[in-house]
Structure 1
């Protein structure tokens, strides 16, 4: 690993190895060999994805009782729970069997260690969010639940798993004040962590499918391991059949707004007014209040340096709705639905989705799960971005090797094997999980992660920062968000597909406190970790602000290094 001082922190450049070699055990060697053979066959046939379910050690069958909400569940989350640089996978099994925690073996294969970590509970798990809520340097987990199967559905069963840093979790939801969301109602859907008040710790929003104004709930982090419920004070008492919440600065004013995806035309878009009160701006997001919102993806789909978003829905004439909604940021506070014109409106009975550059060509594609009563047996969808303007997509799921025909719910894209492309997990309702390894034959990439452990005013892992990269006359942008979707949360990494670009001229992080960090001359096919210094004025990142910071900055400025661009212009 190379490590060198840069403006605003230490930059770690760790080039990854494509397809790691020898494994420490015969079992893992056999698994890796089978996976490589499958990948070779896939490439020969022109496919992008190879189904490696079970072969890579990940195997799970979802089973949620056929009772209220049961047919809409299926999900999990990814994070590096043990801090070894490899992403792990949490799976909510639904109650028929205990949940599973697949720890990455360091080669893209996995071993279920849920029992030793203390999370092998059989319960009616629904949604999962991950984040370092206590700022102790490891990733914690919040899970919504309706309780174990030996009793009827009941309230007060949500879990906040604190990562103890020793390979175990402890449920502290009761002590933290977040186990009971909606007293008297067994409910709770997808949670999300986010720093809505910009104080550097992660707050918590939990959706509720029941349309009572006391259901969808915002908890403020007190910084001492406890939370206070602040829903009404923040203007968020909402009658919404809530599925997915996420905090994101959608109008570039430095404040984190709220997108709330809800069923039956109840999706909402709220702007943060700068005083942590949310103002309903749903009328400025075309068609989201008429869609049956199910899934959510956020990203710069048209490469114009602002965030757009996509809401999956039901494409069915009887409902007379718009189908999927692709909301393009107009730069004036409004969002225009271009799904139909772009060819991405009909996803059947859509659920989970993601923006992901699956072929590393520099253009975000759309992945979407599908299936429900009357739509069972339909395929999942892969809308490949053609790179044209205006936007146009071509559906290529089956030819690309993503032939999923079960009732998909949640969906996650992440780099499971550290080979610089995005793999895919689809969670099936009342059926088997599917794991697709990405074997795309070409396209360079750059992956960026953020470390804010030394600056307490910034959210953990740099959440809410914007990451920009420049090469030639091109600039790309990604927001470091929680990547929350239907019952799932994905990786906290910015992934940039680059096609045949062989070097990135610069990478710039716009931190949520208004400061910037710039790194120049970055190798491709690298995971780049940028660390925020203890203070924006600590140029050499030694924990002290003094004349030596000024001297170093002036030296970089005189040499024409982009690291000296302290105002991000």
Structure 2
């Protein structure tokens, strides 16, 4: 049976009525979660049935903020990609088969790889599929900064002219030798489910030896499990022993054979990219740093193997993660975004294990109790209040971004996206990269969205959608303002910033040492965009 996308089907779970009821539900969400916790008595049941018919107690609703009246800042960004020396073009291997990994990637990062005091650029590449018979000409890319924002390609000299189907990356000094090492996630090129079980993991760990990167994946034991599709990753010291451990998100149980057999199509068109709902889930990985250059996979023992209570299958479909001590116990917790299934909040218990509490905390679902297509994530004290942490999550098109704000002295969250001014302006966009940064240097964290759809021909079935979508910058007007986050227009950020693209990963840094923060946006199948912040003094 064909799986077709049409107007009605694409919008059935992401309807306009979401905005109409969002304010009401954002106020009752915490009470609803309390009712669920008391009524079911079993955590796994919570994962299966987030919607409850039990009566909900009256609670105070958030105040809808009025339109802002204060003047908006001018934060003009200039596209300097070409003149800065960035020649990289992302290769996603897209072909007539339209395989789901082609919609992802690539990641990017600013980091000082040569320890000279300025920020260099690393760009993750994918490649043509091995079964297409094309030579793997595309490689990762490393660009060295001369200190003024002009970059030179040092990929080959640094040992990073390697080719595999890369996805995300994380920078950290795992061996405590003073320089930044690099971990890159990847897709295992699985022809079939049988081959998937025999292939080694596709991820790579590169140790920085004085500006030259050495692949130590095998010796370190962090390549991943056979068939893994690694996405986001991050370094953190989960056991507080003084060295960095590694968390790796995995997306789906994927193979070319299964993907092709689903026969997804667009109404009136050809093959479409598959839906994540039809693929099996995957477990996140936690690698404990042993301090001798090797790592131990402690994922299962630490409580990361979350399964469906009926089928026993992995429940996660993870695309993003962020670290934060949410409960103030000095142990770093982890929040993970999942695509079409509930998000995870792993509370670090301090004994080498984690407890998953997202449903109890109000961060697992939207205000209707439904899972969203969650992707990018960041955490900040955007209200300059250390007792209020904001978790922002970018979601699929026709699903507004989430802005979960913690309540004082608790791990409870309320989605305040609408009240804060973020929700309606993000509803039509498909957001991958998302991050907080102080773009105008006023002491308040602003909010950036990198947007772009999956389907090149999406406008044929949804007139409101486009493949290339403009990035967004929300100015943080502060808690004393009627509107907390204000979407800026090309008048404030410039035409270069607002030019549509197929945005994916994003990062920021001060590339020229002028004091303001510049942006790097990865673009799938195209050249990245380096935006210099020309903020006036």
Q: Normalising by structure 2, report the TM-score.
A: 0.69
Q: CA deviation at 1:286?
A: 3.1
Residue of structure 1 equivalent to 2:417: 339
Give the counterpart of 1:189 among 231, 237, 242: 231
Cross-structure match for 2:101: 69
C-alpha spacing 1:213/1:370, structure 2 compared with 1 (3 Å): closer
The 1:214–1:337 alpha-carbon spacing in structure 2 relative to 1, beyond 3 Å, is closer
The DSSP-based 3-state class of the residue aligned with 1:116 is: coil
CA distance in 2, matches of 1:104, 1:378: 29
| Alpha-carbon distance, 1:142 to partner | 0.5
Aligned pairs (5 A) from 1:212-227: 215-227=283-295
Which SS does the other structure have where 2:157 is aligned? Answer: helix
CA contact (8 A) 2:108 2:521 kept: no
Post-superposition shift, 1:397? 4.7
C-alpha displacement of 1:214 = 5.9
Distance, in Å, in 2 between the alignment partners of 1:315 and 1:213 is 21
Q: Secondary structure at the match of 2:418?
A: helix
Cα 1:367–1:285 shift into 2, 3 Å: farther
Task: Tell me the secondary structure at the aligned position of residue 175 of structure 2.
Answer: coil
Structure having the higher helix fraction is 2
Deviations 1:187-235 (A, max 9, x none): 1111111101110111111111126676311110100000001011111
Contact 2:251 2:282 in 1 (8 A): no
- Aligned pair count? 390
For the 8 Å contact 2:169–2:232, the answer to whether it is kept is yes
Task: Determine which of 519, 522, 533 is the counterpart of 1:427.
Answer: 522
Tell me whether 1:234 sits opposite 2:302 in the alignment: yes
Cα distance between partner residues in 1 of 2:339 and 2:178 = 36
In the TM superposition, what whole-angstrom CA distance separates every residue of 1:308-357 from its partner, at most 9, and x where no partner exists?
210111241xxxx5x21111121222111111111212421111011011
Does structure 2 conserve the Cα–Cα contact (< 8 Å) formed by 1:182 and 1:215? no
Q: Secondary structure at the match of 1:260?
A: strand
Which residue number corresponds to residue 309 of structure 1? 391
Change (3 A) 1:429 1:415: same
| Pick aligned residue for 1:392 from 484, 490, 497 | 484
Structure 1 distance, partners of 2:168, 2:238, is 20
Q: Does 1:281 align with 2:362?
A: no
Q: Which residue of 1 aligns with 2:45?
A: none
Q: SS at 1:342's partner residue?
A: coil
Aligned-residue CA RMSD (Å): 2.3
Distance 1:351 1:214 in 2: 20
8 Å contact from structure 1 (residues 99, 120) kept in 2? yes
User: What is the deviation of 1:47?
Assistant: 4.9
- Map of 2:206 onto structure 1: 161
Q: What are the ranges of 5 or more consecutive residues in structure 1 without an aligned counterpart?
A: 1-44, 443-569
Question: Aligned to 1:431, what secondary structure does the other structure show?
Answer: coil
Question: How far apart are the structure 2 equivalents of 1:202 and 1:140?
Answer: 11
Which residue of structure 2 lines up, in the alignment, with residue 22 of structure 1? none
- Distance in 1 (alpha carbons) for counterparts of 2:393 and 2:342: 12
Q: Please state if 1:294 is matched with 2:375.
A: yes
Name the CA distance, whole Å, in 2 between partners of 1:57 and 1:225.
Answer: 35
Structure 2: distance between partners of 1:149 and 1:230: 25
- Gaps of at least 5 residues in structure 2 are 1-72, 128-136, 254-279, 307-314, 366-370, 459-464
SS at match of 1:409: strand
TM-superposed CA distance for 1:244, in Å, is 1.6
Displacement of 1:134 after TM fit? 0.8
Alignment deviations for residues 92-122 of structure 1 (CA, whole Å, 9 cap, x no partner) = 1222522110111122211110000000112
Q: CA deviation at 1:371?
A: 1.4
Q: Which of 330, 338, 356 pairs up with 1:254?
A: 330
Task: Give a deviation string over 1:379-437, Cα, whole Å, max 9, x none.
Answer: 11111112244652221152302123111011111111111111001111111200000
TM-score, normalised to structure 1, is 0.65
2:105–2:125: 8 Å Cα contact kept in structure 1? no
